[in-house]
Copies of this chain bind each other. A is one copy, B any other.
Amino acid sequence: MLDKKYYKESYSIEQTMKELGKKLASVQRQLQEHSIPLVITVEGWESSGKGSVIRDLIRELDQRYCHVKVLEDISKEEYPFQKALWAALPKYGQISILDRSVYSELFDHVEYPKSYIKQALEQVLRAQKTLWEDGMIFINLFLDISQKTQRHRIEKYARDPYQSLYITRRDLNQNICYEKYRPHYGEILRMAQKDYSPWIILSGEDKEQAGKKALKEVINILEEKIPQILEQKEKLAQIKEHKAITSPIIENLDLSKSLTKDEYKKKKKKLQKRAQELGLELKRRNRSAVIVFEGNDAAGKGGSIKRLTKHMDPRNTFVATTAKPTEEEYSYHYLHRFYEDFPRKGEVTVFDRSWYGRVMVERIEGFAKVAEWERAYDEMLAMEKELHDNGVIVIKYFLAISNEEQLARFQERENTPEKNYKITQEDWRNRDKWKDYLVAIDEMITRTNKEYAPWIVVEGNDKRYERVKVLETFVQAVEKALKEPENPRQLEWERENEQQE
């Protein structure tokens, strides 16, 4: 009798789950229709039933547009910044379900001082805000269980040949120190709770109920957030006005600066040797650098990069070229593709054009809406700050030439067969917008020139002067950065720990 009754009840929850699953599947189609990406993070105590909740969530979803990503054990060994978060993002209209998250590192370490946690959280949240403003929905689930339930499950799982696969020393350790973890979790959840990235705490005592609750909550939040996102998009699309924050930079350059052939040769040789040494020094110290090159068309970016990297070790120096985004790249936030190319520890990435295209070509050609490129200044700075705070050296070059010099170079390219491939109709069209670009360049440099990510404007009419200035300022900037403390966050933590001792 008992068995039959149980079966009936479980059948009924099975039915409920199926219905909720189908409901979520229909919301998924709305997300697709409106190109809204969704990230569901599943966090919680060890053995709290995260896997089971994930299974319940995806049950009825169209798996072509929904991907489960396992973020357990994100290592900051190779990449110190939030590469894992960006790599796990869904495309527009798709869903990523994260098993554990970028928060896991913080959850796992009760010993981290509060200031470190706060700063790390700020970085995560800043990225999420950037993505939310671009229309991404974040929902975070936290599965809560009691110490007793956890103990009970660990013991049960440990005896099961399959379940025991998921039991590690960490689970047991967490159970023993449960009372230390509880306030630690509470603190993080309190700090991380944001309107653009809400946390839902679910009881994991009963796995089926947890799954049901998770489905309900996710559906509720989506029904609330989808119209909100659409309204926000609508509103932002209306904005046509832009209040410039700018100062004249390019027009005040002395483009007559030049070097003789002899000066050039002598300086270049010495500086290239030093650049080579610094590249190796970065490798030795496990530091990395991001070098951005922007500039007018034909300003000599390629030539300068070649001279800069000539003697640097090709095994830790990489040039990443930024062209028009591919179809694939267009299906993510515009910053997404750059995270892929950011350097490992000990490496240097030189960007031949960069994310600044957002406030240059995309602004001028109208590929980005006013509200989009307007907020990009802050977004890009936040990203560069993130790199800097994690020990990456950031240097940005703008190579400037005069309108006349550009014309001369374009004509030379057209008339020299081997250089012909370098000039396209698009270059000529861009040239017609010289003045618009001037406005955009001045504003870009004014707004995004920061100590942690400085712009170096290089007078480029004389190629010899230009190349030597690039080399010289690179050497100076890297030497300076290597003298500074490597990781401000790390340092603060050490200080705090010392005080505690």
Q: Which of A175-183, A190-198, A238-246, A305-313 contacts B (4 or more CB under 8 A)?
A: A305-313
B residues near A59, Cβ cutoff 8 Å: 310
Q: How far is the CA of A421 from the CA of B30 in the complex (A)?
A: 12
In the assembled complex, A283 has its CB within 8 A of some CB on chain B: yes
In the assembled complex, A370 has its CB within 8 A of some CB on chain B: no
A314-334: which residues lie under 8 A (CB-CB) from chain B? 314-315, 318-319, 321, 323, 326-329
Nearest CB in chain B to that of A421: its residue = B29
**Cβ contact within 8 Å between A321 and B63:** yes
Among candidates B165, B314, B326, B421, residue contacting A326 with C-beta atoms closer than 8 Å: B326
**Cβ contact within 8 Å between B162 and A315:** no
- A80-114 toward B: CB 8 Å interface, digit per residue (1/0)? 00000000000000000101000000000000000
Q: Which of A50-58, A115-123, A397-405 contacts B (4 or more CB under 8 A)?
A: A50-58
B residues near A64, Cβ cutoff 8 Å: 319, 321, 323, 352
- A268-287 toward B: CB 8 Å interface, digit per residue (1/0)? 00000000010011011000
Beyond A161-B284, A284-B161, is A313–B51 a contact (Cβ under 8 Å)? yes
B residues near A54, Cβ cutoff 8 Å: 314-315
In the assembled complex, A70 has its CB within 8 A of some CB on chain B: yes
In the assembled complex, A448 has its CB within 8 A of some CB on chain B: no
**Cβ contact within 8 Å between B318 and A68:** yes
In the assembled complex, A446 has its CB within 8 A of some CB on chain B: no
Nearest CB in chain B to that of A422: its residue = B62
Q: Which of A64, A311, A327, A421 has the most CB of B within 10 A?
A: A64
A126-143: which residues lie under 8 A (CB-CB) from chain B? none
**Cβ contact within 8 Å between B26 and A418:** yes
Number of A residues, CB within 8 Å of B: 43
- A40-58 toward B: CB 8 Å interface, digit per residue (1/0)? 0000000000010011001
In the assembled complex, A67 has its CB within 8 A of some CB on chain B: yes
A225-275: which residues lie under 8 A (CB-CB) from chain B? none
Query: What is the CB-to-nearest-CB distance from A229 to chain B, in angstroms, rounded to a whole number?
Result: 21
B residues near A328, Cβ cutoff 8 Å: 326-329
Query: What is the CB-to-nearest-CB distance from A308 to chain B, in angstroms, rounded to a whole number?
Result: 11
**Cβ contact within 8 Å between B321 and A70:** no
Q: How far is the CA of A99 from the CA of B280 in the complex (A)?
A: 17
Q: How far is the CA of A229 from the CA of B127 in the complex (A)?
A: 47
**Cβ contact within 8 Å between A283 and B326:** no
Among candidates B51, B162, B311, B319, residue contacting A284 with C-beta atoms closer than 8 Å: B162
Query: What is the CB-to-nearest-CB distance from A170 to chain B, in angstroms, rounded to a whole number?
Result: 16
Nearest CB in chain B to that of A54: its residue = B314
A1-58: which residues lie under 8 A (CB-CB) from chain B? 26, 29, 51, 54-55, 58
Query: What is the CB-to-nearest-CB distance from A279 to chain B, in angstroms, rounded to a whole number?
Result: 9
**Cβ contact within 8 Å between B311 and A55:** yes
Beyond A51-B313, A315-B51, is A305–B162 a contact (Cβ under 8 Å)? no
Among candidates B70, B314, B326, residue contacting A315 with C-beta atoms closer than 8 Å: B70
Query: What is the CB-to-nearest-CB distance from A268 to chain B, in angstroms, rounded to a whole number?
Result: 13
A184-238: which residues lie under 8 A (CB-CB) from chain B? none
Nearest CB in chain B to that of A58: its residue = B314
**Cβ contact within 8 Å between A165 and B283:** yes
Q: How far is the CA of A53 from the CA of B326 in the complex (A)?
A: 33
Query: What is the CB-to-nearest-CB distance from A214 to chain B, in angstroms, rounded to a whole number?
Result: 13
Q: How far is the CA of A421 from the CA of B25 in the complex (A)?
A: 13
Query: What is the CB-to-nearest-CB distance from A122 to chain B, in angstroms, rounded to a whole number?
Result: 29
Nearest CB in chain B to that of A56: its residue = B314
B residues near A418, Cβ cutoff 8 Å: 26
Query: What is the CB-to-nearest-CB distance from A171 to chain B, in angstroms, rounded to a whole number?
Result: 15
B residues near A277, Cβ cutoff 8 Å: 162
Q: How far is the CA of A281 from the CA of B318 in the complex (A)?
A: 42
B residues near A62, Cβ cutoff 8 Å: 302
Query: What is the CB-to-nearest-CB distance from A295 to chain B, in angstroms, rounded to a whole number?
Result: 15
Q: How far is the CA of A379 from the CA of B54 in the complex (A)?
A: 37
B residues near A327, Cβ cutoff 8 Å: 326-328
Could you give 9 example pairs across A and B, Cβ below 8 Å? A54-B314, A54-B315, A55-B313, A63-B305, A64-B319, A67-B318, A162-B277, A326-B327, A328-B329
15 further contact pairs, Cβ within 8 A, besides A62-B302, A64-B323, A165-B284: A51-B315, A55-B311, A55-B314, A63-B302, A63-B321, A64-B319, A64-B321, A67-B318, A68-B314, A99-B315, A161-B284, A162-B280, A162-B284, A165-B280, A165-B283
